[in-house]
Amino acid sequence: MDAVLVINADLGPLHRVSLKHAIRMLRQVAEVHEAEPDRLIGVYPVPRVVCLVRYVVTKWRYTAGPACSRSGVSCG
């Protein structure tokens, strides 16, 4: 397994990270949502999915961007 799914506090998917990064996230900002059965890395279960403890606002993801250029010319 090479990638771990990261989900937001509202259980919406955000992105994937490496297993090493996911284990580092478990120290402060995430908790295991789904894990590999009977597999541990130190004191942590091997995660398949980690859930962020606090909600991350992702509104910027769904915006279309600027509606016009600096000179006022329409971009679309």
Could you report the per-residue pLDDT of 16-68, keeping only the tens digit for each?
A: 999 999 999 999 999 999 999 999 999 999 999 999 999 988 776 555 555 66
What average pLDDT does the segment 13-17 reach?
Answer: 94
Q: Report the C-alpha gap between 64 and 71 in whole angstroms.
A: 19
In this structure, what are the phi and psi dihedrals at residue 19, rounded to the nearest 5 degrees? -60, -40
pTM score = 0.72
**Looking at the DSSP assignment, which residues form a beta bridge with residue 18?**
3
> What is residue 68's predicted lDDT score, i.e. its pLDDT?
61
Q: Tell which wins on pLDDT, 1 or 70.
A: 70
> What is residue 8's predicted lDDT score, i.e. its pLDDT?
94
Classify residue 47 by burial, with Cβ atoms within 10 Å: 0-12, 13-18, 19+: buried
> What is residue 56's predicted lDDT score, i.e. its pLDDT?
87
Domain boundaries along the sequence of the chain:
3-62
